[in-house]
Amino acid sequence: MKLNAIVLFDGECLFCNKSVHFIMKHDPNAYFSFASLQSSPGKNLKEHYNIPESLDSLILIENNRYYDASTAALRICKKLNGIYKLGALFLVVPKPLRDAAYHIIARRRHQIRKQESCPIPTPEEKKRHLNS
């Protein structure tokens, strides 16, 4: 299986898991594969790409490099169908401003509810998750 891009996410965060389902729903070409940061593949990818341990939310690995925070989210938008592609337009906003807004949401993501485990993916979704 050829991997186009990989999204690393916090598997213990309900908001993050819902975001993965949202991306899958709006990614008809299955461009993205997924791995939780807590999984073996997630840990191995962080090590391989020298991703700092301090990064614990959304990370996009694409074209042999990684992107985090708002850049990751907006680059993901570029590949989604429909109006969501327009989110990529915000890449012209300076990164410090984009990341400030991103981190406001990220700080509140654990307030939503922490999960003990990830929801069981459907067979179609399971194909897009990297195995442990």
Residue 62 tokens read as 């694409």
Query: How many domains in the chain?
Result: 1
CA distance 18 to 39: 17
pTM for the model stands at 0.85
Residue 114 lies in a domain: yes
Give pLDDT tens digits for 13-46: 888 888 999 999 999 899 999 999 999 999 999 9
Range of the domain at 47: 5-126
Residues 6 or more apart from 58 whose CB is under 8 A from it?
A: 7, 8, 9, 16, 19, 68, 69, 72, 73, 106
The answer to the question of residue 131 being in a domain is no
Q: Which of 88, 86, 108 is nearest to 98 (CA)?
A: 88
Mean pLDDT over residues 72-89, rounded?
96
Residue 62, classed as helix, strand or coil, is: strand
Tell me: pLDDT of 86 over 90: yes
132, part of any domain:
no
